[in-house]
Amino acid sequence: MFTVKPLPSAETNEDALVIGLFEGAKPWRGLAGAYDARLGGRLAELQKEGDISAKWGRLSVIHPFLPTGAKRLYFVGLGKQEELTFARLREGFGKLFRALKQAKRTAAAVVLDTFTTEAVDANEAAHALAEACYLATYEFSGYKQKKAEPDATLASLTVYTAADAADIKASLVVGSVYGKATNSARTLVNTPGNLLTASDLADYAVKLATRYDLDYEILEKEEMERLGMGALLAVNQGSAQPPKLIVLKYKGKERWEDVIALVGKGVTFDTGGYCLRPRDSMINMKTDMAGAAAVLGAMEIIGELRPEQNVLAVIPATDNMIGGGAFKPDDVITSLSGKTIEVRNTDAEGRLILADAVTYAKQHGASYIIDVATLTGGVIVALGTDKTGAMTNNEALFEQLLEASMETGEFIWRLPITENDRERVRSSNIADLNNSPGREGHAIMGGAFIGEFAEDTPWVHLDIAGTATVKKDGDLGPAGATGVMVRTLAAFVERFVDHNQG
């Protein structure tokens, strides 16, 4: 799809030529200046009149009507140079690609060097361009018998630059991989629960493992019973669908050591169990496996880019249903770790299945653990729908993850876990732990509970209940699943390698 070429003259016969504009800069130089000259200074006049704007988020389309050259000129307003970041540039490219899609453009060319600053170089701009191309144009096809005519898709994108072509091509590949993998996760999350059971999720993971030559293991119910995974099995008791524990191993080193474990909550539908959710709260609970999707998306990126790091993915998968055998409030269950749990709330099921998954990851060599889950409504009350909540037992690990999230533009905010919080989780009179000690600090209680199973292993918990989906279309994708944390997890692994080698 992407072709890299040297900077052209004005004699480019492109269907759509894209140029970035910064406020306060002199835009009418280079290729833009050549077109302005051919048009007798008309582009400069249009900017003065406000028809072409360098203000952030503005997109201007001009038809030169010249006998040769580009048929359309797209000017992307980038605001002030000193305010440009990777995430901001990616959003600007997102606006562009949504406009190209709406206009049914199938080919375009971008003058990449007009989108760079001292803070964002050509390689980063190329990454942002490719990532935005896939994120902004994503669609979930759905299941309508009569579907609308599909929009024309961008099939060819030429990137003009004075930078090293090989480096730019490599950055375009990385950006494409990040965008495609995020879209893979989006599709999983958007898929209805009856069409994405735990078995379906396991089948998807096996195909992913086969594609990228990953080791894999799918634990069935009988094996879980033999091992004593009482927490995961309890959540599954009311279901007609068997549970699965999905395990993927990427071996980036000769020896299986220094292992990063990515653990994703895979509740394919959540009724709340006998602590039944209200109707409105139950709608869209197909998305309760967004943590699992994030981990699988990250493993797709890892499989494509092959970092020199060992990565273990563990996904406990089940739905949480009501039935004659379903677990109940007041039940006491025994987890894989041996710790007993008093069930005070069957709708606090995510932390239960993650407890066994975290223990399993530790048993299989995890040196560091990051779990990702749509865990609590409490995190939405605390942080809104644009911030992922984070908790940790290790400052250094969290700082590295925070740097990765800042790089990808996926905002996370740390919440504390104090000794008082731990005491509340341990407050049961009849078991080691209480799975729901109360509404106060609800998001923290969920994280603190999982932390009891991470114990001394460096660990970060990410609660994506607010960020896994959006209700409105945005510059980087439509309403629905966001694929949040796919890129942050992958970037973390990459940064972890660089940090250790450095």
Binding residues: 265, 270, 288, 347, 349
d(CA 130, CA 88): 14
Burial of 473 (0-12, 13-18, 19+ CB in 10 A): exposed
Residue with tokens 């901001």: 88
Question: Which residues define the annotated binding site for Mn(2+)?
Answer: 265, 270, 288, 347, 349
Burial of 42 (0-12, 13-18, 19+ CB in 10 A): middle
- Residue 76: both structure tokens together: 């992307």
| Amino acid (one-letter) located at 462 | L
Which of 104, 38, 90 is CA-nearest to residue 68?
38
Q: Got the DSSP string for 124-160?
A: HHHHHHHHHHHHHT-------SSPPPPPP---EEEEE
| Amino acid (one-letter) located at 79 | G
Active-site amino acid positions = 351
Three-state SS string across 330-391, please? CCEEECCCCCEEECCCCCCCHHHHHHHHHHHHHHCCEEEEEEEECCCCHHHHHHCCCCEEEE
User: By the 8 A CB rule, do 198 and 244 touch?
Assistant: yes
